[in-house]
Amino acid sequence: MNRNGGKASLKVWGSPEDSKVVIYIDKQAYDDINRHGAANPEREIVGILLGNFSEDGSGKYRVDVVGIVKSESAPGNKTQAQFTHEVWLQLVESAKRDYPNQKVVGWYHTHPGFGAFMSDDDVNSHRLAFSNPWHVAAVCDPIKNELCFFGWDDSEIKAIKGFYTYEVPAKEPKLLPSPERKTPSRTKAPAFLIPVLVLFVALFTIIGLAFTVWLPGEQKKTSQPPFKDFPAAVVSFRNADKEEVYNYYFTQNNGEVWRYTLNKEEPWDKETPLPITLKEIVGQPTVNKQGDSGNTIGTLELQAKDEKGELWLLSTDILTDGKLAEWQQTEKTAIPPATGISLSVSPPYLFFGTTKDAIPLQLSLTGNGNLSWQIFSTPAGINVDKESGVGNATINVTMQRSELSPGDHMDKIILSYNGDKMMEEVPTFVTVASATVPAQKMPSFRIISVKDKSDDGKISRGGEKILVVVQNIGQSSGEVEVSINSSEIFAILESPEAQELKPDEELTFLFLLKPSTMRSGISEILVFKAKNLTSTADEYDEESERFFAP
């Protein structure tokens, strides 16, 4: 019942009480997310969730979503969206006007045509900015008509197994329906101020995706940004050795770069300024990790225009303490942005194994505009006969094993195209036999791909085959066994037997899976392992893939 005696209808989706976060979402907000995605089927869109939360004392949370604030102007494509200063001002103004007494309880975004799942970048972003146990993420695929919530389960981010939608009577104040179990009463959330949200919005970085969000919440004064202008760009880098995350903020004014190190009392450090006076940053900065090389753990790059409109490529090394080295700048010819340019490569991966020394790589560019391409990076021991060109091409890729140490080497060739605005990666795999171990005793197996038979990411209710393609990249035959981890969501009806593979031979292993529950919208990451049964050591190749129940 609402305050005036009207009933609020409640609908159950899945099993909401089976997760540590129980979600109640206003049907209007639920429909708004779907409508926002359906209106933009060709690009990813994003927004924030407004509402409140409560805890029952046992570590279980109830999250009430009463509305959304959506971005109508964030530029983006099918795999990413970009937030500008103007976009966030619009979001803040809308939140202040429409939901003055609510908190940001999470965020939402779409994956048009790719299914409702959390990518690695999405998970990293949620960990970085939505770290409270009651923060949730809604992912919507408007093409496949899927919507799934994700939230915290201890230290992991998992799919929430269901949620409630409710409708309040028209012209009545919205009041959430009472759950069947008792929950402590919520205290009224204070109105959040515009400067606070702008400040925290600036600190949410999606790694690899080009947008930034920061939540309102309690912060120490020492954590407030020392700069006044909204950052022109933000990028994140994780130092695995020190278990630290660095966020680099690029300001338009004076070209300053600031570093924010998480979990430190004095996290803000002013880095070496950019060597040009910024007019515009073209795209988002990128970071490239690398192995230990002295005191360098990675590189940071961005493209930017100076006051005259000239385009530059700026790069610098990331040092082991997170600081940036001196910037290097390379002048680039300003090219008008093209649309619809795409690059496909064949084969999508290069398996040299222990026998192949040369593989032709086919490049195919389609679309109207700048069809130029160039080899941006090649692994050690790999040579190419062409480093740049325009349009379709065949690149002869050769392997110099003498330059590599014995063992397995996995790396990638990186190509840039469309005026260096887009990148493509081609994984490479090569095995170098030890001089003391005969090559014929070294079979080596790699999982090439994992997908369901319908190739839509969903396991049908009647059961569906999972196709796992394995290749022997070694020099001799060997027996391989492919296994899968146990699952709470999917029952494993059939598993393949071990098979013998000859060098360079590929074989498809079939698993038959069936959802063990009929709850829709839930998903799980399944881990597949290809184990070398001819080896006395516990050697295997591992590949993970997320699948959804219909």
**What angle (nearest 5°) sits at the alpha carbon of residue 208, between those of residues 205 and 209?**
65
Given a cut of 90, whether residue 397 has pLDDT beyond it is: yes
CA distances from 206 to 124, 234, 237, 246 (A): 7, 9, 11, 13
Residues constituting the chain: 550
Q: In this structure, what DSSP letter does residue 385 have?
A: S
- Look at residue 421 in the predicted model and tell me its pLDDT: 76
Residue with the bigger pLDDT between 298 and 367: it is 298
Residue with the bigger pLDDT between 348 and 173: it is 348
Query: Per the structure block, which two tokens stand in for 104?
Result: 């940001």
pTM summary value: 0.37
User: What order do you get walking across the sheet with 257-261 strand by strand?
Assistant: 233-239, 244-250, 257-261, 268-270
Given a cut of 70, whether residue 181 has pLDDT beyond it is: no
User: What order do you get walking across the sheet with 506-515 strand by strand?
Assistant: 445-452, 464-472, 506-515, 490-494
Residue with the bigger pLDDT between 360 and 124: it is 360
The strand pair at 21-26 and 162-167 is best described as: parallel
Contact 246, 239 (CB under 8 A): yes
- Arithmetic mean of pLDDT, 428-440: 64
Given a cut of 90, whether residue 384 has pLDDT beyond it is: yes
Given a cut of 70, whether residue 156 has pLDDT beyond it is: yes
Closest CA to 77 of 337, 373, 414, 252: 337
* Residues 77-91 pLDDT 10s: 555 555 554 555 666
Query: Per the structure block, which two tokens stand in for 484?
Result: 């899968």
Side-chain half-sphere CA neighbours of 102 within 13 A: 23
The strand pair at 103-110 and 136-141 is best described as: parallel
Given a cut of 90, whether residue 6 has pLDDT beyond it is: no
Residue with the bigger pLDDT between 112 and 89: it is 112
- Arithmetic mean of pLDDT, 246-264: 79
Given a cut of 50, whether residue 425 has pLDDT beyond it is: yes
Query: Per the structure block, which two tokens stand in for 550?
Result: 């219909």
- State the angle between helix axes of 85-98 and 194-201 in degrees (0 to 180), rounded to the nearest 10: 140
Contact 159, 148 (CB under 8 A): yes
Given a cut of 70, whether residue 144 has pLDDT beyond it is: yes
Given a cut of 80, whether residue 347 has pLDDT beyond it is: yes
Which of the residue ranges 55-64, 492-501, 534-543 would you say has the lowest mean pLDDT?
Answer: 534-543
Percent of the chain with pLDDT over 70: 76
Contact 350, 373 (CB under 8 A): no
- Look at residue 174 in the predicted model and tell me its pLDDT: 45
Catalogue all structural domains in the chain, each as residue range(s) with its CATH number: 9-196 (3.40.140.10), 220-332 (no CATH), 339-436 (2.60.40.10), 440-548 (2.60.40.10)
DSSP 191-225: PPPHHHHHHHHTT-B-SSSS-B--------GGGS-
Cα separation, 502 vs 471, in Å, equals: 9
pLDDT category at 497 given cuts 50, 70, 90 is very high
- The beta-strand segments (E) located in 129-279 are 136-141, 146-153, 156-159, 162-167, 233-239, 244-250, 257-261, 268-270
Which of the residue ranges 214-223, 255-264, 332-341, 387-396 would you say has the lowest mean pLDDT?
Answer: 214-223
Cα separation, 226 vs 235, in Å, equals: 17
- Mean pLDDT in the chain? 76
pLDDT category at 99 given cuts 50, 70, 90 is confident
- Look at residue 73 in the predicted model and tell me its pLDDT: 58
**What angle (nearest 5°) sits at the alpha carbon of residue 305, between those of residues 303 and 307?**
155
* Residues 503-530 pLDDT 10s: 888 999 999 998 886 555 577 888 899 9
pLDDT category at 375 given cuts 50, 70, 90 is very high
- Look at residue 302 in the predicted model and tell me its pLDDT: 84
Task: Tell me the one-letter amino acid at 183.
Answer: T
Which of the residue ranges 344-348, 418-422, 468-472 would you say has the lowest mean pLDDT?
Answer: 418-422
- Look at residue 170 in the predicted model and tell me its pLDDT: 52
